[in-house]
Structure 1
């Protein structure tokens, strides 16, 4: 590492720790957004129902296009007094629209409890309740959820109903988990897509049924492109009306310029920085209106915005402060988007996250350092906005400068839980090994949390399919394939734990059982995908992803260039610690009998003498996260059956066009560790029943006692090149630690070691002390904008349920 980086050193005119100040306009805008109460908005549901009734006899692609068109023509629009960008998702900022085509059952069931939730509270008026109840009968047996449930084979449905395999998000909302080709949108405009569609449409031979199917997609594509153009025009006309009424000259000039820009983009190419930002925002917004799938991400924003910035800067059309203000405005706009989930789904996504990720840094397609002036501007905007959304990811590589790394550490010190780091040194080779072209592999971005894909060329859900509960699976295996709670025989009986003679017996049963559960997860995922493909294609998202237009296929039909997907495996650390305890204390040292342990698990460690057993499990067995090879190898070996088995199965797009079509592992469990902990009885690591599982691949709270280096070493032993869905590692550090420049530089060195030598995949930091979190629980009004990293995303701490808050408070606080 280079010598100490001093505060007065500059790169691209940027000093370490200097992020500029929030402008008065953006300050006021931020305050108005944070003051907005999240309500349930029925408007979109009403418009969607109207469109479905009107066009229900059309082909499904046309129906979906007409629905979006009807919404964009008729939804409430507004331009707030302090914004420089136009575009809103709902009737008011932070209101959450309802998407009735995906699910209405839970909406109606939970109408009266939205305000009573323990976290992720939404408000709703009595009028809105009545409006939603009025349209509900039309959607009975007519939603994605209804069709998804009906498509589950009975044997697989049992795994879902018992919560062993979770897929609520897959059948109650759209897909998301994608970044479209924003670079083409801003440089060539939607008009370029329109021209391509019209050319291919004219060549169709409609006597060929496969080409006739393309006809409907092309017709739908032209409908949505025209609808987006008309949507922008509505804002242009509104801006002109407001300009005619406003008395303040500066605001009138701003509104006139907004109107000019909105008559141009995103239909036509952008020529200026502000045009490019507006084009990106409006496109991103419509994608969120089209489908409520989360993790719709911006991709490599610094790479495709920087040419506009440098041209405008050279021409004197913009300065650095103005450019940061527009980026800050984009961040604030991103937070205005909201999503309401069923309570069952909310437990997997606490904090109402949308996972809208911006990726900066990394390498160019030629392998050079890609950090540019806009990379720094985005860091400035993230700090000034001080929000949990958008997510920010930095692509790490060996050539990333110490100056940029230090600036990233300064952002982390602000307590945003951002940026997260993903490692080029692992991800790029893994992509290339799976058939992804080198230039595309070098152009990957984060999607949502820590998952990765190639923007504009990759299908849905590179991560985000079903959740598999590893610790609960272990309990079922120990119980001869029978779920201990329900008593249902889910898996073959390979012997009860109390009858097993060795640890190897347990592992043989685990291997066979985990492979069967993996197979069942594939069946459930395929059922969800089939229902989505047949009934709910996202036309605009498909248009903006290569090569859907060229193939005449939507994304679910195989339109993307690449299409790999990943489920999520929950409770990695609990499984590791459970296996270590069983191996050492039951089979090797025999200080706990298998009968004693099994009875303690059934009685939640509440029986006579069982607290002593629990303390032995916690204190006398080695723990994952402490660089103990024996323990770390246990989880590597236990994970391998899943990794091997999942690689055998193809997704529903395999052989239909995309490169890949396969599956891989992923640990980005978001907040599912809390939700799946609720359905999991006591485990052999000493964990009580119903309490949270460990999140991501992070060690269990307070059990990683040997410091951050040991954690890094343990995590790096996982097969990161096979777990392409993301190896999510959360770390927590006291703000006092990073007040020292020396410690900041130590952290840079620690990160370089983790990524360069240990080949770590990902890491992110919570920099907030325990006392602050506890005070925020007691006095939420004093900590309105306290932000924490929940999992692969950040959230306002006070909006989380107490259980999720407690889970974050109890995480190990590392030192350097």
Structure 2
């Protein structure tokens, strides 16, 4: 690793994240000052105030300007979404078992003074007030996880970065002004657009002032700098900032600085994560090629600038409530870069920038950016082989997504062929058409399927909370056939599906009213053309997904009941129910659990009957949810539908914690399966069998994304022949209609040693879910969940 990167990286890894209160203070005052304005203008002017008044700095050795908070890895606060959890957890932030933050007593005092002003004024307050009682009542059972969505920002979007580098900030300003100049305010439809355009103008003016501040700061630091080389670098930063004040970027360095300014401002606008860079290699490669051809830069200089960009990405951070942290531990921000794929003519899109991005992933070796590669039949073999060499080092990246499945899935939902070919990954394993999609292709709510099954088996009653959800449902011991049981489960699914849509649409309505985002909206087609923000229907496509947690568990459990109770009669329904109620206590309970675990086929092993049943139960949800509509229906976008995903992140741990013992042999409180990965300890027949099982699911219907975690035994991925075999497995996964796969290639011995001696493994990365994290930053429960994942041979 070159010296510049080592110094910057070392500082990041040795930084304990702080709470930065600047944004909270400025936004609170701004909301008071601009109270009379429509919310979208008020928020735009508040963001502009933050950009004009927050602390800015340029790190030593860094070649890029732009920071999210007053120091690296510090988390700004967003009280307009929710604030109660901040006050409740202030004294515990440093005591957390994971995702710790420091905060001074002085800053605690400030927050305790200013945050109560937000009482009754936050997005969460509005959403809770608007939710029907039926949704609020579900909070005691925990089937639906919808509250995190209104405690934080939206995110989960790929802005139109291709447009950004073509127009720059100055071009965006001119485009907004042109729209304003063309309005005829005597026409009601034009008058309605004025507020949106004024908000866009206010924020662009704030962005330009933010850039100007760095221009001045870099020049001032250059004047004081005694080191000639560093002085030249600082003047370069100032010159690039000055260029972006006046015109679109023309060089590779200017384009990279422009992209970073947009990314960091988006993070300041909203606390939402998964703000992704899209097909970064495609829109950056022309700048790289032009500069290399004209001799403006060398490849080594391009590498240095891109490395600084990667390090900047990891400097961003966010605060989550502890309950939200439990679903995504390791401080992920899911800033995603997608490489490769296909061009419009279906030829391979791998280019020199793709290679550069891959090499920087290898050298920088940090959890973010999260790098994905689009795999298709004509992908460069050399590029794929280089990716595999990086995977085998145990960094958990890059992850792989399959064009064959995803393009077909998008077209099935109404996306044009041209746009589908241009898809990009976003966040965990979700996909979007860059710059044409609204917020959250996935991530609205989480649906705990195993909890639903538990309620069904208990006669419609939640055994944990004692809430009677269904009054006319029989307990397990009264069912006479598996078909009868499946029908009861499907009826429960229908109920919670409807409840999920109601909860999400109410949240959407609250967000539309309370937290519209002008800056993000002007970066998505065709919000400027329509004069509408994202939530109002400004985007080309609008599809929203919720996450299904526990598909493999439900499939295994229902199949176990079918085989052991109804088909082979190894046990009665009453005996199984007693075993579940007592968490398999006693000798009889142990015998029953042994049958369930060891003598009953499991999803993930290419067992046709259990795979078929798992698919049937999952299918019922994904086929029905598509008929529900989002709030944008009839307002312009294509789709406006709900879809499904299996992107559970680490929600499988808290989801499992509230469910008793289940008929798949899982004990009370144990995690559910993550994504569509087979349940822990159930994979017996290797990778090919696992992919065969995954391929039986109707993956193309899960438009919100699929998550498949795989652990590989490092000893089986050593030779060139092993690498070639791995590549063939990746391609075969595409032919089997698998959406995505990601790999941890690290031994249990290494992970156990890291638990004992964390000081020796400061940069040990693992793939947690759709993101990477430093292993030693995770709490023991999540570490154990990762270790427990089946380690497979190639």
What TM-score, normalized by structure 1, do the two folds share? 0.96
Encode CA deviations 1:477-509: one digit per residue, 9 max, x unaligned.
112222121121223533221100011110011
* 8 Å Cα contact 2:516-2:535 kept in structure 1: yes
The answer as to whether partners of 1:266 and 1:279 remain within 8 angstroms in 2 is no
Distance of 1:498 and 1:725 partners within structure 2:
36
For 1:736, what is the secondary structure of its paired residue? Answer: helix
CA distance in 2 between counterparts of 1:595 and 1:41 reads 56
Contact in 2 for aligned 1:266/1:282 (Cα 8 Å): no
Instruction: Tell me which residue corresponds to 1:726.
Output: 705
Report the secondary structure of 2:717's partner residue. Answer: helix
Check if 1:55 corresponds to 2:27: no
Q: What do residues 64-112 of structure 1 show as CA deviations (whole Å, max 9, x unaligned)?
A: 1111001000000000011000111111100111111111011101111
1:759 to 730, 737, 746: 737
Residue number among 768, 780, 791 corresponding to 1:790 in the alignment = 768
- The partner residue of 2:49 within 66, 70, 74 is 70
Q: Does 1:576 align with 2:555?
A: yes
CA distance in 1, matches of 2:240, 2:480: 74
Structure 2 equivalent of residue 10 of structure 1: none
**Paired position in structure 1 for 2:371:** 392
Q: Which whole-Å CA distance do the structure 1 matches of 2:346 and 2:720 have between them?
A: 30
Selected match of 1:177 from 156, 159, 172: 156
Q: Could you tell me how far 1:324 is from its partner in structure 2?
A: 1.6
CA deviation after TM superposition for structure 1 residue 215, in Å? 0.9
Corresponding residue number in structure 2 for 1:14: none
1:101 aligns with 2:91: no
Q: Tell me how many residue pairs correspond in the alignment.
A: 794
* 780, 787, 790: which one aligns with 1:809: 787
Cα shift at 1:801: 1.3
The correspondence for 1:517, drawn from 483, 488, 496, is: 496
638, 661, 672: which one aligns with 2:617: 638
Kept in 1: contact 2:215–2:238 (CA 8 A): yes
Q: Report the equivalent of 1:655.
A: 634
- Shift of residue 168 of structure 1? 3.0
Q: Does 1:273 align with 2:268?
A: no
Contact 2:464 2:658 in 1 (8 A): no
For 1:324-473, list aligned pairs within 5 A. 324-473=303-452
Query: Alpha-carbon deviations, 1:188-212, whole Å to 9, x = none?
Result: 2123332232222223333444432
Does residue 212 of structure 1 match 2:191? yes
Q: In 2, distance between residues paired with 1:696 and 1:173?
A: 23
- TM-score normalised according to structure 2 size: 0.99
What SS does the corresponding residue of 2:662 show, helix, strand or coil? coil
Given that residues 581 and 621 in structure 1 are in contact (C-alpha distance below 8 angstroms), is that contact kept between their aligned partners in structure 2? yes
Per mean C-alpha deviation after superposition, the further-off stretch among 492-501 and 73-82 is 492-501
Q: Please tell me whether the aligned partners of residues 434 and 660 of structure 1 are also in contact (alpha carbons under 8 angstroms).
A: yes
Equivalent residue runs for 1:532-681 within 5 Å: 532-607=511-586, 609-681=588-660
Distance, in Å, in 2 between the alignment partners of 1:37 and 1:523 is 40
RMSD over aligned CA atoms reads: 1.2
What whole-Å deviation, never above 9, does each CA across 1:136-175 have from its counterpart, x for those lacking one? 2211111111111111110111223431100233110110
User: How much has 1:266 moved relative to structure 2?
Assistant: 6.7
Instruction: Say which is worse superposed, 430-439 or 385-394, in terms of deviation.
Output: 430-439
Return the offset for 1:741.
Answer: 1.2
2:283 to 284, 288, 304: 304
Are the equivalent residues in 2 in contact too, given 1:186–1:266 (CA < 8 A)? no
- 1:247 maps to 226
Shift in CA distance, 629/217, structure 1 to aligned 2, threshold 3 Å: same
Structure 1: segments with no counterpart, 5+ residues = 1-21
The C-alpha deviation readout for 1:708-765, integer Å capped at 9, x for no partner, is 000000001100110111121110012222221110110001111111x312111010
> Which has the higher mean CA deviation after the structures are superposed, 805-814 or 428-437?
428-437
| Residues 107-118 of structure 1 aligned to structure 2 (within 5 Å) | 107-118=86-97
C-alpha distance in structure 1 between counterparts of 2:716 and 2:299, whole Å: 32
Deviations 1:605-629 (A, max 9, x none): 2245212211211111101100001
2-structure distance, mates of 1:226, 1:809: 50
Deviation, 1:267, is 6.1
Q: Could you tell me whether the CA contact under 8 Å between 1:665 and 1:725 is conserved in 2?
A: yes
Deviations 1:277-328 (A, max 9, x none): 1100111000000001000000000000100111111111112221122111
Tell me whether 1:778 sits opposite 2:756 in the alignment: yes
The alignment partner of 2:743 has SS state of strand
2-side partners of 1:640 and 1:758: how far apart?
17
